[in-house]
Each structure stands twice: as C-alpha cells, then as structure tokens.
Chains A and B, each alone.
Chain A
Amino acid sequence: MIQVQELTKSYGAKTVVDHASFTVQPGMVTGFLGPNGAGKSTTMRMIVGLAKPTAGQVLVNGRKFTSSTHPLVEVGTLLEAKSVHKSLTPRAHLRAMAATAGLPTTRVDEVLELTGLGAVQRKKVGGFSLGMGQRLGIATALLGDPQVLILDEPVNGLDPEGVAWVRNLARQQAAAGKTVFISSHLMSEMAQTADHLVVIGRGKILADAPIGEFIDNGLAQTLVRTADAETLMNALAAEGVQLKRLDAVTLEVTGPESEVIGRRALEAGVVLSELRPLQRTLEDAYMELTRDAVEYQSQITTQSIGGK
C-alpha cells in the first residue's frame, strides 16, 4: 500500500506536485494518468525517496521507503529505461543489484529468463534499444519479488507482445495481492489494465476513482444529424448544454441525454436523420478532465491579475 499525503514538490517558484493526496491499494492495478509534465515521475521519485518532498509525506507499507531495511523486496521500481551504467551487461547489473540485498544469483537468471533477456545477458546495455532497456528495467523491478510494484511508463518502446506481457504481469501481480502502481499516457492501455485511476494535471490530483466510475462521471454526448440544424440549435440552447457544429448538418451535443434531444426535436418539428449517443472512452474522459484543469488554472491567473 502506498499512502501519499499532501505531497508537494517545488523547484524554486515552480510547483511540480501540489498537495497531492491519494492511496494506492494492494490487490489491484492503479493507473496514474496525466499529460506530460503533470508531475507523474516526480511523484513516483518521491515515493521511493529519490526526490525529497517540499512538504507532505509518502508512506510505503506504513513507513518511509528511505528507512526500509529490505528495499528490493518491499518495492520494485522502474523509473527510466536506462538507469544502468552503459558499459555493464544486464547480467552484471542484476548481479550487483542482487548482491546489495543478498539475493541469490539464481534469481538473476530467473528474471533474465522472465523478461526475455536471456540471449543478450552478456551484451553491453549501452547498445540496447529502448524496448530492451525497458525489459531490463522491469527485470530489475522484479528482482526482489516485491510487495509493491511501481512502474513509470513501462510499455514505452515495447512491441505489442511486450505490451501484452506487461499487462498480464500487472494483472497477475495484483491478483497475488500486491500493490501495482503504473503511470502511462496511453489511455487505451490503462483501460485494459487498471482497476483504479489517479489522474494528475499540473501537479494537482484531478480524479481518484475506480475506472468505471471515472468514465461514467462525465456528461452525455450525442451526435445529431438534421437538415435544419439552426432550428434544432435554438430549441436545444439552455443552461448546461454545449453545442458543437461539426458541419452543415451535424451537431455534437454535450449535456442532455439523447432522449431529451429527440423530444426537443419533436417539439420544434425538426426531422432528425441521425441521433446517436457517443460512447465515451477513457481517453475522452481524460481529455475533458485535464482540459478543464488547464482552463481552471488560467482563470485563477486572470482573476489574481485582475484583483491587483
């Protein structure tokens, strides 16, 4: 279990993580979503003690990771694909990591086999592709068979087979009762892997909810086609209704359910050629959420400037 409490990280005047609080539960896969520069990696670095929080704290299994006596068994971490000395072989790197924690060399062979690196275990890491580096990072994370797995963009650079493998791995680890925390910007991937989502934007936690709830939480979207778009737009115009004209005969309506739109069209005598509720994907929900965050931020800035 990872407990993030009021976590804040500032570099000078810039706040990268802003009072973030959430809990990553064991037994499920928790996805960590956010646009680039939202503070995902910084948050993960603070969880494992590589970066010091400006304020707040993180507890891993109830205490700070920096005081862990069994770090590799407690937390397996993948932060960057190539956090390995370029002149080392995967085998030497893993043997060195295993030696730190007194893990047997047989475990090194196991994770090399597990991640498909057996054939290149004596090649230098410097010549690895991004995908190979990523596999080595995952091998390192799995070395201690840890209770908590923290993976920052694990599928970056992996081929489809590798992506599927990471997904299975995450699901399997969660099923075994472990805590799995994965960051990604690939929504489709998260939709298939995660049980729970934490969304971060501009350092603030925007959402922390089960994945189903996250998708349904938004407003209904409907695609409407009619030859008389003007009349329908007037009939629909109301508080909380967003109208977007896609072309002369097509509207995208956000807010009311499709049934309400149909009734309004009937009342106004408009003939509809199409009335189709749009399936909201995780990606849509995410885009909406992060876009709102950006707008919210700029409003604050405008207000504070106006107030002076």
Chain B
Amino acid sequence: MSTELINARPRPMHGRVTLGGVLRSEMIRFFSLNSTRILILVSFAVYVGIAAVGIWGVGSLMESMGGTPNAGQIPGTESMGTADFAAETLASGLMFSQLILGVLGVLLMSGEFTTGSAVSTFLASPQRLRVMGAKVILITVLTAVVQLASTLAAYLVCLPLAKNYNMTLDFGSEAFQRMMWFGALAVVMAALMGLALGVLLRNSAGGITSLVALFFVLPLVAQILTAVTDWFADVARFMPDRLGLSLALPLSTPSDLEMWQQLLGVAGWVLIPLALGAVLLKSRDIK
C-alpha cells in the first residue's frame, strides 16, 4: 500500500448521485453475478424447450387423429390446429418463465440484505427509494426483453416443426401478438412481485417460497374456498397466476373478467406490494 496517491490526484471529484448513475451501478453488479446470468439462460432455455415439445406433441397428436379436418369431430379439440391454438401451445412454458424470472426479482433485492451489500448500496445513495426505483426499472426492462427474446426464439425453433405437421404458426396474427406482449407483461408482473417480496422479507429463501406460494398455493386455497362460499369465486378470478395467463392465453386459460379488470388486477398485484415495500424500505434500518 502507498499513501502518496491520495494527495497526488489533482482533479476535483463531482460525485453527484443520479437515477441514471444508480441504474448503471445496478447493471454493473447485475451482470457481474453468475446467478443472474444462469437464471436468465435457464428461463430462456426452458421456455423455448417447452414450446418445441408442445408443438411437437400437438402436431403428432393431430397427425395420429388423421389431420386437421377431422380434429373438430372429437369434443374438446375444436380449436386444435388453428393458428390461435398453435400460438398458445408455443407459450406453454409461460408460467415457468414467470417463476424463474420472478425468482430473479426476489434475488435482486434480497441479495442486498443477505450479503450485507445493502450497506454499500445505501451509503452510495442514501436516498433509498432511488435505489428501489432503479431496481424496478432494471428488472422490468430486463425481464420484458428476456421474455420477448424467448418468444421470438421459440417461434424460430417451432416454425419448421409446425410446418412439418401442417400447423399454422402466424407471427403476425392477433393471437400470437397478444400471447407475446401480454406474456411479457405476465413475466414482468411476477418479477416485480418478486422484487417487492425481496424488499419486504429481506430474505432469499423466504422471498422465493412466498412467490411460489402466491402462484401455486394461494390459487389452490382460493379454489377450495370457492366451494365453501360463492363470494370467493370473485376473489379466485383475481389470483396472480390466472390474471397474467388469461390475458396472454385466453383460449387455454379463459376468464370471465373484462380486459380492463384483468389489467387492473395485474396493476394491483404489482403496485400494492411495491408501495408497501417502498414504505418499509424507507422506514426500516439497514443491517
């Protein structure tokens, strides 16, 4: 170690903290970590893989039933073979993307507290909500891009498969576009819910468990309670797993809610936990 350099540096430091600066800082750390890169790759691979298997499965089933014209004769298979159905089959892995990238959301925030790096982060930007804002922007853009890229890749992989079975996979169709954009929304919703859980619980294991519970256990409980009271049927329609999927995949996950109601539900699941997290982040001590 040498001490000469301290006074040798002549130029003045500016050092003003801006949202852009915090965002750059978050990106440097995000992409320096192996865990985040692995989660992104896994989400991508799982989505594309399930899409290919799905198209192949549906295609071979239709082939064994004697091709598209007869498909409608068996009850429940009316929509099979349509371009809309093919688009939704391609998105079979959407729920896994939600979970994997939701975990990424949890880790982005809980990692600060489990590793102690929150101390450094909030010393560099004592305005805590600015850090949270940067993380919200980063995870939103990142998970949306990952999901859109996964969908595009799945389309490119599945196109020759679908052709092979005489299925129509139309990128420009309304169903495909709806699946792609609302699918990205469903993933962003899960990631932001994960981020909120991360800041609320400050614990990776707890945050991930809660996220899984929200997507798997809560809907189950709601279903059971629906049998007991009718009132719960309304609540069950607003479970997070249903909202995101029914917007993207109306054929396989039908919902009797209006679109604005569904969007409102998504906004609620994102904004309420985030707002709660922001209030607690501002008031609690950083350990």
Listed in ascending order, the chain A residues whose CB lies under 8 Å from chain B are: 45, 48-52, 65-73, 75, 77, 79-80, 82-89, 92-93, 95-97, 99-103, 107, 110, 113-116, 135, 140, 142, 144-145, 161-162, 165, 168-169, 172-173, 176
Assess whether B32 is in contact with A97, with CB atoms less than 8 Å apart.
no
Assess whether B126 is in contact with A99, with CB atoms less than 8 Å apart.
no
**Could you say which of B17, B116, B118 contacts A70, with CB atoms under 8 Å apart?**
B17
Residues of A within 8 Å of B33, CB to CB, are: 85, 87-88
Assess whether B111 is in contact with A110, with CB atoms less than 8 Å apart.
no
Assess whether B16 is in contact with A99, with CB atoms less than 8 Å apart.
no
**Could you say which of B26, B28, B285 contacts A92, with CB atoms under 8 Å apart?**
B28
Within residues 165 to 185 of chain B, which ones have a CB less than 8 A from any CB in chain A?
none
Rank and list the top 5 A-B pairs by shortest CB-CB distance, nearest first.
A73-B15, A83-B119, A92-B32, A101-B15, A99-B24
Q: Is B82 an interface residue (CB 8 A)?
A: no
Residue of A72, A89, A162, A169 with most partner-chain B CB within 10 A: A72
Residues of A within 8 Å of B116, CB to CB, are: 80, 82-84
Residues of B within 8 Å of A101, CB to CB, are: 14-17, 21, 124
What are 19 A-B pairs at a CB distance below 8 A? A48-B123, A51-B285, A66-B126, A66-B127, A67-B126, A71-B123, A71-B124, A71-B125, A73-B14, A83-B116, A88-B32, A89-B32, A96-B25, A96-B29, A99-B21, A100-B17, A100-B21, A114-B5, A165-B1
Residues of A within 8 Å of B28, CB to CB, are: 92, 95-96, 99
Contact of A165 with B3 at beta-carbon distance under 8 Å, contacts A73-B15, A101-B124 already known: yes
Contact of A110 with B9 at beta-carbon distance under 8 Å, contacts A72-B15, A82-B116, A84-B115 already known: yes
Number of B residues near A (Cβ < 8 Å) is 40
Within residues 13 to 42 of chain B, which ones have a CB less than 8 A from any CB in chain A?
13-18, 21-22, 24-26, 28-29, 32-35
Listed in ascending order, the chain B residues whose CB lies under 8 Å from chain A are: 1-3, 5-7, 9, 13-18, 21-22, 24-26, 28-29, 32-35, 111, 115-120, 122-127, 283, 285-286
Instruction: Report the minimum CB–CB distance from A159 to chain B (whole Å).
Output: 11
Residues of B within 8 Å of A82, CB to CB, are: 116
Assess whether A70 is in contact with B1, with CB atoms less than 8 Å apart.
no
Residues of A within 8 Å of B34, CB to CB, are: 87
Contact of A100 with B22 at beta-carbon distance under 8 Å, contacts A50-B285, A83-B120 already known: yes
Residues of A within 8 Å of B29, CB to CB, are: 85, 88, 92-93, 96
Residues of B within 8 Å of A68, CB to CB, are: 126
Residue of B24, B26, B118 with most partner-chain A CB within 10 A: B24
Assess whether B117 is in contact with A69, with CB atoms less than 8 Å apart.
no
Q: How many angstroms between the C-alpha atoms of A172 and B6 in the bound complex?
A: 9
Instruction: Report the minimum CB–CB distance from B39 to chain A (whole Å).
Output: 13
Assess whether B119 is in contact with A50, with CB atoms less than 8 Å apart.
yes
Residues of B within 8 Å of A144, CB to CB, are: 13, 15
Assess whether B124 is in contact with A86, with CB atoms less than 8 Å apart.
no
Residues of B within 8 Å of A169, CB to CB, are: 3, 6
Assess whether B127 is in contact with A102, with CB atoms less than 8 Å apart.
no
Assess whether A162 is in contact with B286, with CB atoms less than 8 Å apart.
no
Q: How many angstroms between the C-alpha atoms of A186 and B135 in the bound complex?
A: 40
Contact of A45 with B120 at beta-carbon distance under 8 Å, contacts A73-B14, A86-B115 already known: no
